[in-house]
């Protein structure tokens, strides 16, 4: 393997800051996965696999090898009267894959329309939106284990999925995902309970929505509410919605009766981090080349940063403000390097 040297990372991530990597390569087949990992072991360099860079923040130059996942292919591996199983290579564009399934009438992914990124990254933080999480459609994940240097299939259970997390997020860089096997429904039960979806379908007078109607509604909501990363660099939600024990939430509600939260079990509440940040006065605030997006306070945007450190420092200020006012420590959802 002969990697490229001293490469600017600017074109490879959505914040488009100007950090560099001293080695860079592209992965188009499984042999290249093994070669890249062995090369790093031999040369004692750190290794980082990336997809489209929509959930990454570089705060300094990367000393090691960055490999961009570009493996392609969608293969039907099984079909029954009720469902279809697809093996999809990690470099496929997520939204293209969702659109392909919607077109075929295979349900399960439609609420996750227009999420940027690659198929291979979909299990990493168990991508979720509008009441759906990808864990509901994953049968297994094929990956190269960089520790044991073996190929493995991780079952849905072994992926350790949770709210915006998985074993892949907990053990970063241990597994290089090359394929994800999804199981999709031929007679899907659509999820239209999420407020914004219901409103759009109602406004359009759609009473019995199709898969395509739901996908179009999600696309419309997202296009309206989220900044276009090509215009304003961003990685979507910068922070996770904090999950609080019911007792702590009840206490908080006494002091802040307008707080927005959703029960997620008998014992826990998920608090809207957007509301917490906005309540601290940060929504729409800009400092230098970084800002908190005016329509959604969870999204931090770049107005032309040079270094990802600018975004990181801005996010520290938000964490501090929320901690001071509510006693809650926000967790970053994005992956910081
Ligand atoms: P990258 O950013 O390249 O990588 C993310 C992490 O995954 C890194 O740690 C990387 O090392 C690892 N990784 C990537 N590929 C592999 C692989 N093949 N094997 C092992 N590790 C890998 N996320 C949601 O969950 N829901 C949303 O609704 C949502 N909306 C968004 C909206 C906008 C405008 C933006 C910019 C982002 C949004 N995101 C959302 C976040 C992001 O799109 C997802 O997390 C996406 O899955 C990241 O894909 P990627 O290919 O860009 O990954
Ligand atoms: P929203 O509708 O303004 O809602 C705010 C928060 O409340 C959301 O984060 C959501 O949690 C929660 N929520 C709303 N209705 C809910 C319900 N019926 N049941 C449980 N929780 C509910 O959110 P938004 O900012 O416009 O985003 C819409 C969806 O897209 C959300 O699911 C969000 O996660 C997703 N999204 C994610 C990213 C990202 O980068 N991760 C970026 C943009 C949008 P959940 O987040 O748990 O759904």
Q: Dump pLDDT digits (tens) for 225-275.
A: 999 999 999 999 999 999 999 999 999 999 999 999 999 999 999 999 999
Q: What is the mean pLDDT of residues 31-47?
A: 96
Give the per-residue pLDDT at 207: 92
* pTM metric for this prediction: 0.96
pLDDT of residue 9: 98
How many Cβ atoms sit within 10 Å of the Cβ of residue 245? 11
What is the predicted pLDDT for the residue at 115? 98
- Reading the block at residue 276, the tokens are 């917490």
Give how far the C-alpha of residue 250 lies from the chain's centroid of Cα atoms, to the nearest Å. 30
Whole-angstrom Cα distance, residue 201 to residue 212?
Answer: 12
Report the number of secondary-structure helices (H) and strands (E) in the chain.
Answer: 8, 19
Predicted confidence at residue 129, as pLDDT, reads 97
Among the options 34, 70, 164, 174, which is catalytic?
A: 164
- Contact between residue 147 and residue 41 where contact means Cβ atoms under 8 Å apart: no
30 is catalytic: no
Domains of the chain and CATH, by start: 4-69 (3.30.43.10), 74-185 (3.30.465.10), 243-336 (3.90.78.10)
How far, in Å, is the centroid of ligand 2 from the Cα of 336?
A: 22
> 210 catalytic, yes or no?
no
Angle between helix axes 211-225 and 195-203 (nearest 10 degrees) is: 110
The enclosing H or E element of 201 equals helix 195-203
β-pairing, 128-129 vs 132-133, is: antiparallel
- In the chain, % of residues over pLDDT 70: 100
Are 89 and 51 in contact by the 8 Å Cβ rule? The answer is no
Whether 296 lines ligand 1, by a CB cut-off of 6 Å, is no
Q: Which ligand is nearest to the CA of 14?
A: 1
By C-alpha distance, which of 239, 236, 319, 240 is closest to 280? 319
Number of Cβ within 10 Å of residue 165's Cβ equals 16
Question: 291 in ligand 2 pocket by Cβ < 6 Å?
Answer: no
**Residue of 52, 237, 302, 315 with catalytic role:** 237
As a whole number of angstroms, the distance between CA 230 and CA 227 comes to: 9
Dihedral sign, Cα of residue 122, residue 128, residue 134, residue 135:
positive
CB of 272 sitting under 6 A from ligand 2: yes
Question: pLDDT tens digit string along 72-116?
Answer: 999 999 999 999 999 999 999 999 999 999 999 999 999 999 999
- The CA distance from 267 to 141, in Å, is 31
Atom of ligand 1 at shortest distance to CA of 124? 7
| Cβ of residue 224 lying under 6 Å from some atom of ligand 2 | no
Angle (CA) 105-182-34 rounded to 5° is: 140
Written as six digits, the tokens of 249 are: 């939430």
pLDDT value for 312: 98
Q: How far apart are CA 334 and CA 236, in angstroms?
A: 9
Give the pLDDT of residue 112.
98
Q: Kindly state if the Cβ of 130 falls inside 6 Å of ligand 2.
A: yes
Task: Check pocket membership of 326 for ligand 1, CB cut-off 6 A.
Answer: no
Q: Where on the phi/psi map is residue 309: left (φ > 0), alpha (ψ -120 to 50), or beta?
A: alpha
Can you tell me which atom of ligand 1 is nearest the CA of 14?
36
Which is nearest to 173 in space by CA: 141, 147, 142?
A: 147
> How many CB atoms sit inside 10 A of residue 91's CB?
20
Assign 280 a pLDDT band (cuts: 50, 70, 90).
very high
C-alpha to C-alpha distance for 232 and 303, rounded to whole angstroms: 6
Q: Please report which confidence band the pLDDT of residue 288 belongs to, taking 50, 70 and 90 as the band edges.
A: very high
Q: How far is the CA of 238 from the centre of ligand 1 (A)?
A: 12
Average pLDDT, integer, range 297-322: 97
Which pLDDT band holds residue 332 (cuts at 50, 70, 90)?
A: very high
Q: Evaluate: CB of 277 within 6 angstroms of ligand 1.
A: no
The residue whose CA is least distant from atom 35 of ligand 1 is 236
Q: Is 333 among the catalytic positions?
A: yes
């Amino acid at each position: 393997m002969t990697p490229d040297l001293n490469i600017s990372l600017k074109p490879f991530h959505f914040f488009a800051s100007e950090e560099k990597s001293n080695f860079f390569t592209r992965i188009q087949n499984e042999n290249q996965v093994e070669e890249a990992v062995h090369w790093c072991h031999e040369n004692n360099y750190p290794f980082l696999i990336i997809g489209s860079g929509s959930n990454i923040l570089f705060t300094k130059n990367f000393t090691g090898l960055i490999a961009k996942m570009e493996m392609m292919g969608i293969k039907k591996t099984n079909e029954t009267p009720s469902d279809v199983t697809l093996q999809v290579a990690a470099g496929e564009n997520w939204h293209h894959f969702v659109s392909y399934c919607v077109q075929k009438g295979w349900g399960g992914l439609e609420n996750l329309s227009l999420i940027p990124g690659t198929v291979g990254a979909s299990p990493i933080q168990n991508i979720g939106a509008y009441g759906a999480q990808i864990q509901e459609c994953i049968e297994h994940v094929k990956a190269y284990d960089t520790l044991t240097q073996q190929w493995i299939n991780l079952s849905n259970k072994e992926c350790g999925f949770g709210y915006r997390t998985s074993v892949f997020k907990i053990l970063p860089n241990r597994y290089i995902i090359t394929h994800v096997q999804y199981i999709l429904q031929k007679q899907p039960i659509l999820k239209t309970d999420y407020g914004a979806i219901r409103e759009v379908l109602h406004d359009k007078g759609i009473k019995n929505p199709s898969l395509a109607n739901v996908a179009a509604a999600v696309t419309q909501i997202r296009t309206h509410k989220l900044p276009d990363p090509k215009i304003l660099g961003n990685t979507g939600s910068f922070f996770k919605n904090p999950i609080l024990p019911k007792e702590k939430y009840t206490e908080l509600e006494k002091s802040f009766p307008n707080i927005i939260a959703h029960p997620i079990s008998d014992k826990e509440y998920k608090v809207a981090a957007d509301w917490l940040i906005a309540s601290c006065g940060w929504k729409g605030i800009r400092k230098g080349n970084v800002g908190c997006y005016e329509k959604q306070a969870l999204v931090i945007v770049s107005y032309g940063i040079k270094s990802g450190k600018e975004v990181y420092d801005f996010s520290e200020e938000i964490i501090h403000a929320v901690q001071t006012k509510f006693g809650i420590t926000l967790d970053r959802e994005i992956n910081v390097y």
